Amino acid sequence: MLGAALLGAASAAVLPIGGISAADMERAVNKVPRLDFKGSGVAHMAHTLNTHLHRMAANGGVHLRRCEDMEHAELHALRLQLVRASHPGFQALYESAEDNRRYRFAGEAELMAEYAQQAQMVATAPALAPVLRDSMCRESVMWYVHHLRAEEKRELASSSFVLPTLPEGELFPEPAVVQSNPTESKAVYQSYNDSLQCTTCHSLKFPTKHEWPSDAGVNPKTGRKLPAWPDSFSVKFLLEVTTEPGQKGLPNITNATGNQFHYAYDRKNVSRSRAVNIHKVCPFAHTEPCNVHHHPEGIYLHLSPDAKLGGLCCLFGPGAAVIPPFWTQWGKYVDTYPKGAEVPGEAAPNWEGFVADRYIYGNAKQLDEHDLHVRAEDPRALIRFHATLPPPNDHSHGYWHVLDDMTVGPQDPALFDLPPHCLPSCGLSSRPAAHPSSAHAALFPWGGLDVEELQQQLRKL
């Protein structure tokens, strides 16, 4: 049982660390997670951490269920179970350091009273139910990871205990709900904001302050919010690559045909999620076709996949999670462009034939800017995707021009298979010392390749 005295303690002269292993104590003392436990904002951070949770579950470490499939009463019961199983030494340590991982209640009775109040508020304002659920899921995962020793985790894994995954989306106050239920909205959203304290440590840090818009993915002219991409689809696109005049980077490509993107996201087990870009003209080697495979353990380049000996396949973006399922929920609305209109800051006008709404995610100065253009009349339909690549190709820009609708439906698993001769490394340098900001491009680490170096490797084959 977690003692109320320790829960309420503001500090301790001597930390009660007896019985906590060196590995568990190291995790508790270290406030800065490794890079592979971080993400670019709330949604990508949740996706990254869920990948680790599913790997843990695959090894028998915990039973998982999607947050969206859980009820408030279930979450309340498992939170009580976590509090009762937790080791008091962690709370004392977090309290003394004013660490965001500390419990913010003074014992079981206070936690139960808080939940009773929240449940009543949600009964009064049902629209707040997902907000409360998501905050409870985030808290449960944080408590499980940071308040239990390995011993307690093993004990829970051998029982019927089920841990929720982190919600891979962000909820924002709805004006109508806030106006109708101001008291309930204030309290529930305060709990929700408290559950987001984990972003302080688990979000990637950029060289300059990165502003995440509260109205991401919302068209203020229509009040319409972008829907998420479907979990499984394919889409054909024309590929354009442009490098700014006088700058070093990737060679230009002008609307190359024969490109297709296949995507399959598994919400029950993200470790099985896959994506592949199929290029008739490879962005890195213009004389060769290539496939770019996105797997949870990294990004693989497969050059000349149809060659007699199977071409070259190697890992060149280790540690990068598979493309997450929420690209269309990112970004701040910029403008709506009619057919044929010039698009400021981009090399190509709006020539694809559709009226397009534009949303920008990231910051061009931080070399992580991505543009999404969707059809104004159908925001689920992608028109163009634009990425500014990280160093050493930071003056190169890649564009997908999507002329046909996405083909939504199950994808052939064989599309995502790597050849058996795939190498564990491409033997290419990522140059972290010369280009320190490249470490922040977690979604596109392959942009850090030097095309001249790659071509030298190809000539050796």
pLDDT at 200 over 60: no
Residue linked to tokens 């010392």 = 433
Structural domain includes residue 426: yes
pLDDT at 258 over 90: yes
Stated as kind and residue range, the H or E segment containing 117 is helix 108-124
Same domain, yes or no: 73 and 191: yes
Q: For residue 118, what pLDDT is reported? A: 92
CA gap 199, 212 in Å, rounded: 12
CA neighbor of 129 nearest in space, from 55, 212, 58, 191: 191
Structural domain includes residue 219: no
Number of separate domains in the chain:
2
Helix/strand/coil for 198:
helix
Structural domain includes residue 325: yes
pLDDT at 3 over 70: no
Q: What is the mean pLDDT of residues 195-220?
A: 61
Helix/strand/coil for 370:
strand
Q: What is the mean pLDDT of residues 198-209?
A: 50
Is 438 within 8 Å of 412 (Cβ atoms)?
no
Per-residue pLDDT band for 432 (boundaries 50, 70, 90) equals very low
Q: For residue 6, what pLDDT is reported? A: 34
DSSP assignment string, 326-365:
-GGG-SEEEEEE-TT---TT-SS-S-SSS-EEEEEES-GG
Residue linked to tokens 């993915």 = 217
Q: For residue 297, what pLDDT is reported? A: 72
Helix/strand/coil for 53:
helix
Question: Greater confidence, 304 or 337?
Answer: 337
CA gap 247, 368 in Å, rounded: 18
pLDDT at 334 over 50: yes
**Which amino acid would we find at residue 192?**
Y
Q: Which domain holds residue 405?
A: 225-459
Lowest-confidence range among 232-236, 281-285, 304-308, 316-320? 316-320
Q: What is the mean pLDDT of residues 19-35?
A: 77
Q: For residue 168, what pLDDT is reported? A: 79
Same domain, yes or no: 233 and 271: yes
Q: What is the DSSP letter of 288?
A: S
Residues in the chain: 461
Structural domain includes residue 209: no
In this predicted model, what pLDDT tens digit does every residue of 90-146 receive, in sequence order?
888 888 887 878 888 888 888 999 999 999 999 999 999 999 999 999 999 999 999
Structural domain includes residue 213: no
Structural domain includes residue 408: yes
Q: What is the mean pLDDT of residues 432-454?
A: 39
Same domain, yes or no: 261 and 164: no
Residue 344, preceding peptide bond in cis (omega within 30° of 0)? no
Lowest-confidence range among 15-29, 176-190, 200-214, 336-350? 200-214
Same domain, yes or no: 190 and 281: no
Q: For residue 427, what pLDDT is reported? A: 59
pLDDT at 390 over 70: no
Q: For residue 226, what pLDDT is reported? A: 80
> Which among 150, 171, 202 is the end of a domain?
202
Is 356 within 8 Å of 384 (Cβ atoms)?
yes
Is 305 within 8 Å of 311 (Cβ atoms)?
yes
Structural domain includes residue 216: no
The dihedrals phi and psi of 298, each to the nearest 5 degrees, come to 160, 180
Q: pTM for the whole thing?
A: 0.59
What's the CA dihedral at 441, 446, 452, 454 to 10 degrees? 150
Same domain, yes or no: 192 and 230: no
Helix/strand/coil for 140:
helix
As beta bridge partners, residue 335 has: 358
Here the CATH number for the domain that contains residue 373 is 2.50.20.30
The dihedrals phi and psi of 400, each to the nearest 5 degrees, come to -100, 130
Q: What is the mean pLDDT of residues 330-337?
A: 86
CA gap 205, 27 in Å, rounded: 20
Same domain, yes or no: 164 and 271: no
Structural domain includes residue 122: yes
Q: What is the DSSP letter of 423?
A: B
CA gap 368, 387 in Å, rounded: 8
pLDDT above 90: percentage of residues in the chain = 31
Q: For residue 436, what pLDDT is reported? A: 33
CA gap 78, 162 in Å, rounded: 8
Same domain, yes or no: 362 and 247: yes
CA gap 162, 164 in Å, rounded: 7
Q: What is the mean pLDDT of residues 236-249?
A: 88
Same domain, yes or no: 198 and 49: yes
Q: For residue 134, what pLDDT is reported? A: 94
Same domain, yes or no: 191 and 310: no
Same domain, yes or no: 272 and 329: yes
Same domain, yes or no: 140 and 229: no
Q: What is the DSSP letter of 67?
A: G
CA neighbor of 307 nearest in space, from 288, 331, 329: 288
> Which among 169, 202, 235 is the end of a domain?
202
DSSP assignment string, 222-269:
TTEEPPPPPSEEEEEEEEEEEE-TT--SSPPEEEEEEEEEEEE--SS-
User: Count of CB atoms within 10 A of residue 142's CB?
Assistant: 19
In this predicted model, what pLDDT tens digit does every residue of 57-77 receive, in sequence order?
888 889 999 999 999 999 999
CA gap 142, 101 in Å, rounded: 7
Same domain, yes or no: 278 and 379: yes
Residue linked to tokens 């922040």 = 440
In this predicted model, what pLDDT tens digit does every residue of 353-386 receive, in sequence order?
999 999 987 666 545 567 889 999 988 888 998 8
